[in-house]
Chain A
Amino acid sequence: DQQVKQNSPSLSVQEGRISILNCDYTNSMFDYFLWYKKYPAEGPTFLISISSIKDKNEDGRFTVFLNKSAKHLSLHIVPSQPGDSAVYFCAANAGGTSYGKLTFGQGTILTVHP
């Protein structure tokens, strides 16, 4: 039962253009969402997060949008850079817990071409 889904296994983008990574979830108890980035042979690193009381959070080139009614979130990277090439994971945390147990999606491999 995949509660967090990233339906695009991979995405290829030209340098300078926008990258849009998508994520869908099924558990209505999720109320905090995060994006992690992972390079080969390294652990995931935190990128950006959003609480369910918001519909947008921005940090530099990275913006996360949340559509609660559609149970959908997306990560926008503008402009994309070759160093952004990595695997991106969407993750979610259920409300009512007092700790950070995360449920991850399968990941999307982003390749940014120079």
Chain B
Amino acid sequence: GAGVSQTPSNKVTEKGKYVELRCDPISGHTALYWYRQSLGQGPEFLIYFQGTGAADDSGLPNDRFFAVRPEGSVSTLKIQRTERGDSAVYLCASSPLPGPADTQYFGPGTRLTVL
């Protein structure tokens, strides 16, 4: 079956622009997570969705970052007024259920470069 897909795979933008990153989770997975991986670091938690609602957005760096999951499936991470420090790989993961023992399946990520 299809895994988690993310589009675009690469995004280059200029400082100050707005970007949207899309995540298509595995069908039927109720839990969806966004992580950000900077160079030389491990993934860092951004936000967690259970169904349509953001149950935990404590990892979002500031109010320029926002994410939605309106129908409980596809999610979009939105970044306003991008800064060079936002450059990273943005990873999405989904799991059938939200428990810690429920395996998270990661997408290949979107590499965002802010010039």
Closest chain B residue to A105, Cβ basis? B42
Interface centre among A100, A103, A107 (most CB of B within 10 A): A100
Cross-chain contact of B106 among A6, A43, A107 (Cβ < 8 A)? A43
For chain A, give the interface size range: 20 to 34
Asked if A43 and B42 make an inter-chain contact with CB atoms under 8 angstroms apart, the answer reads no
- Indicate with 1 or 0, residue by residue over A69-107, a CB within 8 angstroms of chain B CB atoms: 000000000000000000001010100011111111111
Cross-chain contact of B41 among A32, A97, A106 (Cβ < 8 A)? A106
Cross-chain contact of A106 among B42, B95, B101 (Cβ < 8 A)? B42
- Report B-chain residues with C-beta under 8 Å of the C-beta of A91: 42
Closest chain B residue to A51, Cβ basis? B101
Given known A-B contacts A43-B107, A45-B106, A46-B104, A99 and B43 have beta carbons under 8 A apart: no
* A91→B42 CA distance, assembly (Å): 9
Asked if A43 and B108 make an inter-chain contact with CB atoms under 8 angstroms apart, the answer reads yes
- Report B-chain residues with C-beta under 8 Å of the C-beta of A6: 42
Indicate if B56 sits at the interface (CB-CB under 8 A): yes
- Indicate with 1 or 0, residue by residue over B37-80, a CB within 8 angstroms of chain A CB atoms: 00011111100101000011000000000000000000000000
Cross-chain contact of A100 among B4, B41, B98 (Cβ < 8 A)? B98
Closest chain B residue to A6, Cβ basis? B42
Asked if B45 and A101 make an inter-chain contact with CB atoms under 8 angstroms apart, the answer reads yes
CB distance from B92 to the nearest CB of A (A): 8
Asked if B40 and A100 make an inter-chain contact with CB atoms under 8 angstroms apart, the answer reads no
Interface centre among B41, B44, B50 (most CB of A within 10 A): B41
In the A-B complex, the 5 residue pairs with the smallest Cβ-Cβ separation, listed nearest first, are: A43-B106, A104-B42, A99-B98, A93-B100, A32-B100
Taking beta carbons and an 8 Å cutoff, which residues of B are in contact with A? 4, 31, 33, 35, 40-45, 48, 50, 55-56, 91, 93, 95, 98-109
Supply 15 A–B pairs (Cβ within 8 Å), ascending by A: A4-B42, A42-B108, A43-B4, A43-B108, A43-B109, A44-B43, A44-B91, A44-B106, A46-B104, A49-B101, A99-B31, A99-B100, A100-B104, A101-B45, A102-B104
Taking beta carbons and an 8 Å cutoff, which residues of A are in contact with B? 4, 6, 32, 36, 41-46, 49, 51, 89, 91, 93, 97-107
